[in-house]
Amino acid sequence: MRKIFAGTSPRHVPEEIVEVADSARTKSSKITELAVRDAVHGREVKNTEALVHFRDRAELAF
C-alpha cells in the first residue's frame, strides 16, 4: 500500500483497494475503465453488462 502513496498526490490514491481476478471487459474484450470508475464512485453505471462478473462484490455494488 505504501508504494501507491509514494510519489502520488492524495487526490490520486483511492480510499479502498479491492483485489479482483481480472479487469472488467466488454463483449469484445476491451477493458471497461469507465464502468468500473462509475461503480466505485457510486455513479450510475451505463454498461452494467461489463461488470457482470463483479455483481456479487458488496464493495462494488451498482
The number of folded domains in the chain is 1
42: nearest Cα among 6, 23, 8, 15: 15
Tell me: the pLDDT tens digits for 37-53?
887 788 888 887 777 77
Say if 55 falls within a structural domain.
Answer: yes
**Contact predicate 27/15, CB 8 Å:** no
Q: What is the pLDDT of residue 5?
A: 73
Q: What is the pLDDT of residue 1?
A: 59
Instruction: List the chain residues with pLDDT less than 50.
Output: none
Whether residue 5 is contained in a domain is answered as no
Query: Which pLDDT value is given to residue 45?
Result: 84
Q: Decide if 10 is inside a domain.
A: no
Is there a domain that residue 27 lies in? Answer: yes
pLDDT at 61: 62
SS (H, E, C) the chain: CHHHHCCCCHHHCCCCCCCCCCCCECCCCCECHHHHHHHHCCCCCCCHHHHHHHCCCHHHCC
Q: Give me the domain span that covers residue 51.
A: 17-60
Phi then psi for 31, rounded to 5 degrees? Answer: -70, 140
